[in-house]
Structure 1
Amino acid sequence: MSTITARKEIFGHPAGLFILFFTEMWERFSYYGMRGILVLYIATSATAIDPGLGWSNKDAVWLYGWYTMLVYVASIPGGWIADKFLGQKKTVMLGGVLLCLGHGILAVPTSWAFFTGLLLIILGVGGLKPNISTMVGGLYNEGDPRRDNGFTIFYIGINIGAFLASISVGLVAYYYGWHYGFGLAGIGMLLGQLVFVWGQKYLKGVGEFSGGTSATEAEKAAAKRPLTKIEKDRVIVLLISFLIVVVFWGAFEQAGGLMNLYTDAKVDRSTGWSWLQEIPAAVFQSLNAGYIIIFGTLIGGFWTWWRKSGKESSSIFKMAVGTIIMGLGYVFMMFASQEASVEAFGKAAMIWVFLAYLFHTIGELCTSPVALSFITKLAPLKYASIMMGVYFAATGFGNKLAGSIGESAQLEPYNGKVLVEKQAMIPFMQRDSIEIKNKQKEIVEVFDYPINLDKNFSIQSDVYIQDDKVVFQEHEGERQLGNLFDLGEGKQALLNTLKDQGATNENPYHARLKFEKDADAAQVTENRGDGKNYGVSFVLEEEQSEQEYKTFMWLVIFTVAFGLLLILFLKKLKKLTHGAEDKQVEKLEQENYELADTDIN
């Protein structure tokens, strides 16, 4: 048994815990702050008042899925590098440096900086995330009863960081621009790195490199012998639990993608307050962390009471129940979709989003905290590290699945080319107060038509069939819009769709026609305001709403059915664990300990 020398303590815990607490808090601040605005930035037009990348919603969610997957999968090589070459402490230090660089580069408003920043963040999280959690455990001797409470304190830091980030970064991005939001996330990471560097004196002997030969005699012996029948059965259960992880995070992680886009476009976020007329969509990302802070102890206490009452409380049962509760959260998004579809260009009330995130969080608190603990109970000693790596990979694949689901909920837009001069377009738009930069890079406010500044604009339109032709008519107006642009080959596909849906003048479909200038042409300042090189894109609102509703519905059906299936086969699955959990609970109760089952996300 390793022995840790006496260290300075704060509130009964090693002082190093609070160094790691604040380091991780600021790292999660940077990650969740950036994640909250990521999809919104990618999907914002490159010629908007506050420009984004100008990708379609579908492509934005696709990139989000790959990014969030790679962030988790990178934990595998990050842990391997720490074990074989650097040790946890130096790998965390390296990861923090990469994160500071990545977030700092994201603040630069260019495409190359954006993708370079994402790559550095993926590498940085891979180095920091798995190893800083290991360092928390390294602060305590084996059998130290304070260990579980130490991880709980550490977990609180994660959620404080996530909560503060989603609010502050979302508001800064809303008021000052996307890259100021990215910059604020970077400042948070820099603070975390400074705390970690300053606190090295409290982390002596923790996370040091052991030369890659730290395996105990028991571990070496276990690595040589074949798996027993009991160990093979437990591996089967573990593989099933990894499937639960993929399914759970595939549904849960719609938060940063589909849910984010839906909240931005289809939820009435107006407040009526003079200082904040509208709540930025990214701010709603704070709900999950806020609910965890409020309900985390209550849910943990419930499961303790439930177990002491002699009722079923195995890890698989908790994960199944959590998956069901989380999936039921999408019922509220179905209600939101129905409410928004009642009228043309309608919006849903915020309460549905609040309720959805509440159920998602309760489901997370039932599922996520037991996952890592379950692995440590069942994984054979020779495969303990591999199984932990597979867990992180499963979490990553769940995030990729989330991106694919969100991507499927977004329709491919119809695209066309504007045919008329800008004089014909101006009657359909209003003068806006627009912030632009002068030659000295200073922001100045201009009151003008967007087309005179190469900015994008939109027009609400009714769309229907008349005399076997597609008609675009100004919504709540009589003016025709079809002569403004040409859809090319897409016109026939639109015609067929409207025919199939029976769209008529009395019962039209609707589209928000988005006009935007080609991003490259907009860079030529000599041609600013010429009104040329504009295109149009749109989706049919009714089709998009139906697609979103179906996605929410299938998320409910699949997650609930999957959870119920696990409960149906619970006895057989528990039999394959050969009492691993029962024995651990008996031991803990004999020693007057309680299972904390805390996962570190």
Structure 2
Amino acid sequence: MNTDIENLFKDKVIGHPAGLFVIFFTEMWERFSFYGMRILLVIFLTAPLIGDNPGWGWTSENALSLIGTYGSLLYLTPIVGGWIADKFTGYRLAVVIGCFIMMLGHLSMAFETSFSFYAGLALLIIGTGFFKPNMTSMISEMYKGKEAKKDGAYTIYYMGVNAGAFFGMMLCGYFGESEDWGWSYGFGLAGIFMLLGLIQFWLAKGLFGSIGAKPSKVHEVELPQNINEESPTINKEEKANIKLNPFTTLDKVLMILSAMGGLLFLFSDPLLKIGEINLLPFKEVGGITIFALELVAIIGLIAIVMFFRKTLSEFENIYKPLHLRIAAVVLLGILVYISFFTSFFISVYDHFIYLLSSPEASLSGQYFIVIISLYIFLYLAFSRMSRYNPMVKARMVAVTVFALFTVIFFAAFEQALGSMTLFARDYTERALTGNAATIFKIVDLILTVVPLAIITWVLYLLFKKTYNKIPYSNIVLALTFAFLWCVVFYKINTEFSKEATEVKASWFGILNSFFIITLAPLFSKWWESKYNPSAAMKYGIGLVLLGAGFGVLVFGTLGIPQGAEKASVSMIFLILAYLFHTMGELCISPVGLSYLSKLVPGRMIGFMFGIWYLAIAIGQKSAGTMGGMIDEITKEYSLSTFFLMFTLIPIGFGLLSVVLNPVLKKLMHGVK
């Protein structure tokens, strides 16, 4: 029996150990800082150089290129940060290090100089690497032997995540966009709450005993969405199978080459667009070479279809031939689609005929490198899969398909902090007068005060249980809340003193967190009922809902003429889009890592966990690259055409997931 765990459970708040709520508030302040800064980033970078609240005057393409790289690296550094915590620092110290580095990053950005801005982003990326994987690892360690409580623990934890995101975007966005305050105050407010969160967590370390203090002798990975399952066990057959398939020298070389190519692209893309610094200065290749690359993609992806068919045929006793035909035809359709989409992704104007006929057709070095890196990675992934026994191979194929859907989901969903925020600023009617202004102020008041009052009550419960054990931490936490209430009252009083009001562009970002908090219990009931859909159906429903949200924006922007830089679309379209997007997220969020832990052999979880984060990172960068097309597509076609792209792609892949549901269920071989 672990004495520290038993001691933690002696002091309970709402049925859970008080230490969970220390983590809750630490995560809340970190998310407050992260999303408060993130929602301002694209607005600040693209704001005009001259004005009442001047920004840097970047194009949306340049701004979203940087933001895409930033978002990708946020999902790559935790792979390293988790390893460092496991081997050297322990979870708790890693969290403290991460908080401190992130606090420096936020405060650095408040100075608004080029050096401090880029240094701030770098510090935030590094700090997130230490922080992100280790908070959930601490919860995992706290609840060893208490698995029945994990469901509620992670629910509480994610409420902290969304509460922090909600207030961060609301308040940092309000002060950052305000002409009376400015960007420095928005970024600085994020840094202040990160500092207070760090102090509160550090002063509460005595409450945890040895929890998170020492690196585990055996590396374990706790997947936060996997809240109802114990860590997978490995039977003798799987152990033998894994031992027969170690990483060869060629595998390691290919991994390094693929990783180097991907990182080169991540850094070279914004450097080339923003600073005209070319890390890959070789001459651009011509149209024939691009066509050859796409031809290789088609041939290679057809080979993947054959791999799928071979994998399925190994279970020919349980698969119907119809499933084989459906899988082959649909996957071949995907591959051809992806080939055409790759051409569109590189440039709106590059088509196959143009590639073959025009000597001016070209592909820059950075895109050439990333495509080659992708080929190498796909070869590595499928060559390794082919070495495993049929059951493991089939399950890994299912994971690969879900990873593809994850890339598509994040490429579209992350428009919320990019092109959708620009749409809110430039194309949404945000100036309200009369009754409309009064109604909005009342709604905003309720949305702000009610959640904050509930969280303050939780603070009071924690204070009652732990005052004698961690008094200084509680005092800091109380002062933090007092400061937060002062900021909230200032905002409310300022807005109610005006006859008219202008909704901040950043305000719309809070809708995702609000809808998650209100709708999550309903979706949870759905998943617990007998109508709980399969993994593929959840992905399908989620992607279709995501596409439907963009479909609302397509409808709302039909009246905006080609090339328009400003418009006044009703905000109801944006609100409905966020509603659909959040419902889509709630369908997909419980699927990914949870099913990963069930489908992959235990000793491969750490590696596949990294691969899954890589898929999200690719989605993040794709979101930035595709979102950066908003000005170009609006100028050449229309804004509705831009959103139509994000409507058709997710819906197409969502329907594909539904069609593949029978095949994927068989590939998962009984995993539910």
TM score, norm. by length of structure 2: 0.64
Question: How far off its partner does 1:218 sit?
Answer: 7.0
Matched, 1:284 2:504: no
Match of 2:642 in 1: 551
**Equivalent of residue 224 in structure 1, options 218, 226, 243:** 243
Counterpart Cα distance in 2 of 1:372 and 1:144: 17
- Contact 1:75 1:129 survives alignment (8 Å): yes
Q: Aligned pair in 2 of structure 1 residues 340, 376: CA closer, same or farther (>3 Å)?
A: same
How do 1:186-205 and structure 2 match up within 5 A? 186-205=191-210
Aligned to 1:411: 632
Spell out the pairing of 1:405-444 with structure 2 (5 A cutoff).
405-411=626-632
**After superposition, where does 1:62-461 map in structure 2 within 5 Å?**
62-142=65-145, 144-175=147-178, 176-210=181-215, 212-214=217-219, 222=239, 224=243, 226=245, 227-272=388-433, 273=437, 274=498, 277-305=501-529, 308-309=530-531, 313-341=533-561, 345-411=566-632
Asked if structure 1 preserves the Cα contact closer than 8 Å seen for 2:173 and 2:504, the reply is yes
Residue 39 of structure 2 corresponds to residue 36 of structure 1: yes
How far residue 573 of structure 1 moved from its aligned partner, in angstroms, is: 0.9
How far apart are 1:99 and its partner, in Å?
A: 0.5
- Look up the match of 2:455: none
Alpha-carbon distance, 1:549 to partner: 1.6
Q: 1:242 deviation in Å?
A: 1.0
Q: Does 1:567 find its partner at 2:661?
A: no
Q: Work out the CA distance in 1 between the residues paired with 2:162 and 2:142.
A: 21
Structure 2 Cα separation of the partners of residues 561 and 202 of structure 1: 50
The letter of the residue matching 1:88 is Y
The change in CA–CA distance for 1:375 and 1:214 in structure 2 (over 3 A counts) is: closer
2:7 matched residue in structure 1: 6
Specify the SS of the correspondent of 2:426: helix
1:320-350 CA distance string (max 9 Å, x none): 2111111110011112212344997532010
Whether the 8 Å CA contact 1:85–1:211 is kept in 2: the answer is no
Q: 1:237 corresponds to which letter in structure 2?
A: A
1:5 partner SS = helix
Query: What amino acid sits opposite 2:197 in the alignment?
Result: G
Checking the alignment, whether the CA contact within 8 Å between 2:429 and 2:568 is kept in structure 1 is: yes
Displacement after TM superposition at 1:236 (Å): 1.1
Deviation at 1:390, TM superposition (A): 1.4
CA 1:15–1:565 in structure 2 vs 1: closer, same or farther (change >3 Å)?
same
Distance in 1 (CA, whole Å) between partners of 2:594 and 2:617 is 18
Q: Which residue of 1 aligns with 2:305?
A: none
* Unmatched segments (≥5 aa) in structure 1: 413-541, 582-601
Q: TM-score, normalised by structure 1?
A: 0.71
SS in 2 for 1:253: helix
Q: Which residue of 2 aligns with 1:473?
A: none
Structure number with higher relative contact order (C-alpha < 8 Å, ≥ 6 residues apart): 2
The structural deviation recorded for 1:209 is 2.7
* Letter of the structure 2 residue corresponding to residue 261 of structure 1: L
Per-residue deviation, 1:225: 5.5
- Distance 1:217-1:347 versus aligned 2 partners, 3 A rule: closer
Q: Residue deviations 1:149-173, cap 9 Å, x none?
A: 1000000010011111111111111
> Compared with structure 1, are the counterparts of its residues 342 and 543 closer, same or farther at alpha carbon in structure 2 (3 Å cutoff)?
closer
SS in 2 for 1:166: helix
Q: Structure 2: how far apart are the matches of 1:134 and 1:580?
A: 24
Q: Is the 8 A contact 1:319 1:368 kept in 2?
A: no
Query: Aligned in 2, Cα 1:396/1:147: closer, same or farther, shift over 3 Å?
Result: same
Task: Give the structure with the larger helix fraction.
Answer: 2
Report the count of equivalent residues: 447
**In the alignment, what sits opposite 1:594?**
none
Contact kept in structure 1, 2:61 and 2:625, CA below 8 Å? no
Residue deviations 1:499-557, cap 9 Å, x none?
xxxxxxxxxxxxxxxxxxxxxxxxxxxxxxxxxxxxxxxxxxx726x343212112111
| Cα deviations by residue, 1:260-283 (Å, 9 ceiling, x for unpaired) | 111111111012142662111011
Higher strand share: 1
Q: Which amino acid aligns with 1:252?
A: F
In the alignment, residue 333 of structure 1 is paired with which amino acid? Answer: L
TM-aligned CA distance change 1:27 to 1:34, over 3 Å:
same
How far 1:316 sits from its partner (Å)?
2.1
Whole-Å separation in 2 of the counterparts to 1:297 and 1:214 = 33
> Structure 1 269/340 Cα, relative in aligned 2: closer, same or farther at 3 Å?
farther
Shift of 1:19: 0.7
Q: Deviations over 1:135-160 (max 9, x none)?
A: 11211123521111100000001001
Are residue 56 (structure 1) and residue 59 (structure 2) matched?
Answer: yes
Q: 219-228 vs 37-46, which deviates more? A: 219-228
- Counterpart CA distance in 2 for 1:219 and 1:69 is 32
- 2:571 and 2:123 map into 1 onto residues whose CA distance is 35
Partners of 1:81 and 1:193 lie apart in 2 by 20
- For residues 202 and 240 of structure 1, the distance between their equivalents in structure 2, rounded to whole angstroms, comes to 43
Residue 372 of structure 1 deviates from its aligned partner by 1.6
Range that drifts further, 138-147 or 334-343:
334-343
**SS of match in other structure, 1:287:** helix
Once the two structures are superposed, residues 449-496 of structure 1 have per-residue CA deviations (whole angstroms, 9 ceiling, x without a partner) of xxxxxxxxxxxxxxxxxxxxxxxxxxxxxxxxxxxxxxxxxxxxxxxx
1:368: Cα distance to partner?
1.2
3-state SS of paired residue (1:246): helix
Residues 545-572 of structure 1 deviation map (CA, whole Å, 9 limit, x = unaligned): x343212112111111101111111111
Distance 2:428 2:560 in 1: 8
Closer, same or farther: CA 343–75 of 1 in aligned 2, 3 Å = closer
8 A Cα contact 2:540 2:657, kept in partner:
yes
Asked if the contact 1:341–1:347 (Cα under 8 Å) also holds between the matched residues in 2, the reply is: no
* Letter in structure 2 aligned against 1:549: S
Q: What letter is aligned with 2:611? A: V
How many Å separate the matches in 2 of 1:556 and 1:218? 41
